Structure 1
Amino acid sequence: MSHAPPPPPTGDPVHAGWHQLMTYQPQVPAPANPTRRPMLRGIVGWSVVAVVFGLAALAMTFVVTTAVGPRAALLALVSSAIALGIVIPLFLWVDRLEAEPPRLLWFAFLWGALISTLGALVLGELGLAFFAGLDADPMVLGAVVIAPVTEEVLKGLGVLLIFLLARREFNGVIDGIVYAGIVAAGFAFVENILYLGTMYVDGGVPGLVAIFVMRCLVSPFAHPMFTICIGLALGLIAHRRRWSSAWIVLLGLAGAIFLHGLWNYSAVVRAEAYLLIFVLVQIPLFVGFLLLLYWARRRESRLLRDILTGYGLNGWYTPAEVAMLADPGERRRARAWARGIGGRRAQQAMRAFQDESGELAMVRKHMVHGGGGTDPHWLEHERRLLKAVSAHRQVFVPRA
């Protein structure tokens, strides 16, 4: 792979002039707080998060082991983890061009696995008690009405919290899909433990294998398929966060609840009709889910290419670099090429170059569409990224 460094930058991609960007002086930061209160606030904040997740973990452990026993719970946990090995890599693959911070991915997973599942159990029981007087089958009522509403609201709340509290890391449709998918994967992980453990207690190993095939192999993406409707809606309004756009989020929530209820209905109907409904409902939903992921990946690649082309026209990137950065396969080959010419140090520099370029595209998108074009924070962030991109390029393509 031949690689020539770009010429010296000549302009700013925002049409404001290269001189303006390079002569931009960040505001003088205010003096640091000399007290220990900022550190204490940070400790208290993270302690509260740890305590909440810890208590939820203890509660769910108690619920599961009480319901099925320690042995069944352990077997179910191991079996359920296999589904994670299918689901999580897919969302990490979708997120490759501009990866999300691990701390937020862990928050998403733990929210789904602990808070959403615990809340769904409590609200599910309350819902069944509330509707106990109705002349309806509790199994159908719980599966088709109560579970879709409570579970999608609770899972969606986790995605909404990331959207509100980590707005600089929630930049569009891909981010919404990834965060929603990880929340849903966490939820499905714990829910599967309960189902697998119960079937092992009731039917032994054959029962465990049967439900494992149905939930972990045939339909491991069921929960992510529903919840990404919410993530998709939040991603669409990531750069126009106004109350007037709230209807989009409510529409996404309604879509998640509808798909969840439709899926559950296909699972609780008469056995002789299950196969027909599986073919007519569940398979089309899964195909639509895969097409959505493909569309989102293509959309982000085009976005990355278009934005970096703007930087390239002003001297920041060569056309070959833009083409490489917009193609995951070429990015992988570029890292191998860098290692071949400069060893591990050059490979790490290429990886950083790719990561920073993806982040740069998201920053530019926010500045153009999110009204941050004159915000000193975003201007300074862009300037740091541009300097870092140039510095890392020098490692694998030193100038003569």
Structure 2
Amino acid sequence: MTLLIIALAAAPALAIAVFIYWKDKYDPEPKKLLYTSFALGMASCLPAVLFTICFKALGFDEASHDVLFSLVSCIIAIGLSEEGSKYLMVRYYAFKKPAFNEPFDGITYSVMVSLGFATLENFLYVFKSDSPLQVALLRMIFSVPGHAAFAVIMGYFLGLLKMGKTHYGWVGLFAAATVHGIFDFCLFNAEQYSGLMLFFIVVFYLMMRFSLKAIRIHQQQSPFKTQH
């Protein structure tokens, strides 16, 4: 059973990583940079926790009974903390590498960092749960693909930043943080508010649609496309 749970916790990230690497078909990234980005994603869990503690010390509370304040808290204390930590890893490591030389690379490196984060988070949640198999299955379906979608949003704009579109990196960060916060707000409050789970499904569907479209757009914008 333990091996099954480990496989379920790790498999989603591996599958998504392979998918993104396959989509980066015009100028694939050096594997060493991808592995390092994945490891940095795991490391980004620590600053994310510290940021969350700081925001909660300022009064943000995602468990608040005030619906609007709970939503804002999810966006700030969770979304901004986690996506901000990932952003720092991509922006100040991968973004500066010569291999980061086309728009799609923003998606590739952001997803690798995010999958590292999601994998470590997965293991922490699964193995501290009283129902590890159920948690592993639910996170395989929603949480890991969710983290990947947040990364595509952020990476799409980092790709535009690399093309010289000033300030787009910050746009990507705050867009990813906002969507992440809405995503978590829906999950935290689905049982309390009727209809919220339906809204969550719509949000999840739109995230996946945007992710696939963003991937296609940046593939088409690759300067290496004409060489194939």
* TM-score computed with the length of structure 2 as normaliser: 0.85
Q: Is 1:155–2:77 an aligned residue pair?
A: no
Q: For residue 129 of structure 1, report the CA deviation from its aligned partner.
A: 2.7
Mapped partners of 1:134, 1:88: distance in 2: 30
Q: What residue in structure 1 maps to residue 113 of structure 2?
A: 183
- Partner of 2:101, secondary structure, is coil
Mapped partners of 2:209, 2:7: distance in 1: 28
Instruction: Answer 1 or 2: higher relative contact order, Cα 8 Å, separation at least 6.
Output: 2
Q: Is 1:122–2:62 an aligned residue pair?
A: no
Matches within 5 A, 1:250-329: 250-271=170-191, 272-300=194-222, 303-306=223-226, 308=227, 325=228
User: How far does the alpha carbon of each residue in 1:323-371 deviate from its partner, in whole angstroms, 9 at most, with x for none?
Assistant: xx2xxxxxxxxxxxxxxxxxxxxxxxxxxxxxxxxxxxxxxxxxxxxxx
Within the candidate set 137, 141, 144, 1:213 is matched to: 137
Q: Is 1:169–2:89 an aligned residue pair?
A: no
Which of the two has higher C-alpha Rg? 1
Matches within 5 A, 1:9-48: none
Within the candidate set 41, 49, 61, 1:112 is matched to: 41
CA 1:149–1:172 in 2, change beyond 3 Å: closer, same or farther?
same
Amino acid at match of 1:160: R
The answer as to whether partners of 2:12 and 2:144 remain within 8 angstroms in 1 is yes
Q: For residue 291 of structure 1, report the CA deviation from its aligned partner.
A: 2.1
The answer as to whether partners of 2:74 and 2:181 remain within 8 angstroms in 1 is yes
Amino acid at match of 1:247: H
Mapped partners of 1:144, 1:135: distance in 2: 12
Q: What residue in structure 1 maps to residue 150 of structure 2?
A: 226
Amino acid at match of 1:120: A
Mapped partners of 2:139, 2:189: distance in 1: 17
Q: For residue 137 of structure 1, report the CA deviation from its aligned partner.
A: 5.0
Mapped partners of 1:82, 1:102: distance in 2: 19
Q: How many residues get paired?
A: 223
Q: For residue 258 of structure 1, report the CA deviation from its aligned partner.
A: 1.1
Within the candidate set 128, 131, 146, 2:77 is matched to: 146
Q: What residue in structure 1 maps to residue 17 of structure 2?
A: 88
Mapped partners of 1:77, 1:84: distance in 2: 12
Mapped partners of 1:182, 1:297: distance in 2: 17
Amino acid at match of 2:9: S
Identical-residue share of aligned pairs (%): 23
Q: For residue 186 of structure 1, report the CA deviation from its aligned partner.
A: 0.5
Mapped partners of 1:258, 1:177: distance in 2: 18
* TM-score computed with the length of structure 1 as normaliser: 0.50
The answer as to whether partners of 1:172 and 1:235 remain within 8 angstroms in 2 is yes
Q: For residue 104 of structure 1, report the CA deviation from its aligned partner.
A: 1.1
CA RMSD in angstroms comes to 2.8
Amino acid at match of 2:215: L
Matches within 5 A, 1:43-82: 77-82=6-11
Gaps of 5+ in 2: none
Within the candidate set 226, 233, 238, 2:162 is matched to: 238
Gaps of 5+ in 1: 1-70, 309-324, 326-400
Q: For residue 197 of structure 1, report the CA deviation from its aligned partner.
A: 1.6
The answer as to whether partners of 1:266 and 1:281 remain within 8 angstroms in 2 is no
Within the candidate set 117, 128, 131, 2:59 is matched to: 131
Q: For residue 192 of structure 1, report the CA deviation from its aligned partner.
A: 0.9
Mapped partners of 2:150, 2:225: distance in 1: 30
| More displaced stretch, 179-188 vs 228-237 | 228-237
Mapped partners of 1:171, 1:259: distance in 2: 27
Q: For residue 157 of structure 1, report the CA deviation from its aligned partner.
A: 0.6
User: How far does the alpha carbon of each residue in 1:94-113 deviate from its partner, in whole angstroms, 9 at most, with x for none?
Assistant: 12221111121111101101
Mapped partners of 1:253, 1:265: distance in 2: 18
Mapped partners of 1:135, 1:147: distance in 2: 12
| More displaced stretch, 151-160 vs 218-227 | 218-227
